[in-house]
Amino acid sequence: MMDTDKRINFGIVGLGTAGSALVQPVLKNKNFRMAGAADLDEQTLARFKADFPEASVFTSAEAIAEAQGIDALFISTPTQFHTGHVLAAIANGKHVVTEKPIATNLEDADLMIEAADKAQVTLMVGHSFGYETPIKAMREVVKNGELGPLRMMHNWYFTDWMYRPRNPEELDTTLGGGVTFRQGSHQFDIIRLLGGGLVRSVRAMTAKFDNSRPAEGAHTVFLEFEDGAAATAVYNGYDRFRSAELGYNVGEGGLPFNLDKYGSARSALRNAGPDNELELKKNVRYGGTSSRNWSNIPDSHPFYGLTIVSCENGDIRQSPDGLLIYSEEEKKEIVIPKGISGRDHILTELKAAMVDNIPPLHDGRWGKANLEVCLAALESSNKRKEIYLNHQKMVQD
């Protein structure tokens, strides 16, 4: 256990889309200090060093794993590298949060879980949208029982995921690419949190609509829980209909979504040409020309598509300011304070585990259970049959 008065020295491994998104939450959290970062790309590292001269920078994941003076690492390298990078961090006594999905196969997830148990360090998996404040609030309403037993959960999301600039591995299912691994992992975390965690079986059909982007770009997944509750996760990443139209025009980060720019991801990629896609993807890395500014608090809560929960006596969905509850007699809004993001919740959960010895919900076993659903969806589609699950973890809250 760590000293309760000491700040946690935190490092980020991989300063791409996911790694950059954790910088602001670390900076604003008084329990954490931005202590270092690693990336293979020296330009990205140089931009990080310019912003944080006191932090140490490294050109490999192994070097930051071995570094003194860093307590915990966020592994946000491409999915196929998670296992090696997590194991290197744990071997050096570091606590770890790894991006989702935890790995591309269950054996690797077991290796990480066993290593963390043996070294007695924290292993967590995130960020997923299951950490976001409105989803946690929905879970509270379900759990307090005011609407009766939970029966159905749906998460439907139509985006441009397939046409945002991508690295080759993101369009290769064997390396964790495609929307079932990458976006399904968000949907399944939302649904598993709401439903209490124990998915019994999965039936799915995945789809590839565009041969030039050779990974799953859409799926329809039906999940049945041990207690009989049912859920659907529907995703379409082909940049035509956008489900923000059904969700107050609010985007994933809580920012307004511009519906006037129809098909803009597809046209931007077409205009840039295939040879320039990697350059476009690089621009999203830390401090790059297309990197997002995470320091503004958005006007709305973040929406990960349309999430609707049905209990026997009422339904729940999100509003820009919180939740809408459709009960027997009335429709009411629960307003939820803004400004605490899912990534802030990751750091709170990590600090509680490292300092106060409180087991995290989103531990390695939770991440393995999420991966089991992703793999089952792919297998179900491939074999056109229902897949039964064996590694689900119950929500303890």
Binding site for ligand NAD (CB under 6 A): 13-19, 38-41, 44, 60-61, 76-79, 81, 99-100, 127, 167, 182, 284-285
Q: How far is CA 46 from CA 72, 149, 385, in A?
A: 22, 53, 50
Residue 362 Cβ vs ligand NAD, minimum distance, rounded to whole Å: 12
Residue 284 Cβ vs ligand NAD, minimum distance, rounded to whole Å: 6
CB 277 within 8 A of CB 269: yes
- Rank residues 141 and 378 by Cβ distance to ligand NAD and give the closer one: 378
- Rank residues 94 and 285 by Cβ distance to ligand NAD and give the closer one: 285
Single-letter residue type at 298? P
Residue 18 Cβ vs ligand NAD, minimum distance, rounded to whole Å: 3
* Alpha-carbon span 99 to 328, nearest angstrom: 40
- Rank residues 44 and 318 by Cβ distance to ligand NAD and give the closer one: 44
Residue 364 Cβ vs ligand NAD, minimum distance, rounded to whole Å: 15
Half-sphere exposure of 25 (CA within 13 A, CB side): 23
Could you give the strand order of the β-sheet that contains 56-58, starting from the edge strand earlier in sequence? 56-58, 32-38, 8-13, 72-75, 95-98, 123-125
Residue 99 Cβ vs ligand NAD, minimum distance, rounded to whole Å: 4
* Alpha-carbon span 114 to 309, nearest angstrom: 35
Residue 12 Cβ vs ligand NAD, minimum distance, rounded to whole Å: 9
* Alpha-carbon span 221 to 202, nearest angstrom: 7
- Rank residues 69 and 168 by Cβ distance to ligand NAD and give the closer one: 168
Find the residue with minimal CB distance to ligand NAD.
Answer: 16
- Rank residues 147 and 215 by Cβ distance to ligand NAD and give the closer one: 215
CB 101 within 8 A of CB 283: no
- Rank residues 60 and 105 by Cβ distance to ligand NAD and give the closer one: 60
**Residue 114 CB contacts under 8 Å (≥ 6 apart), including other chains:** none
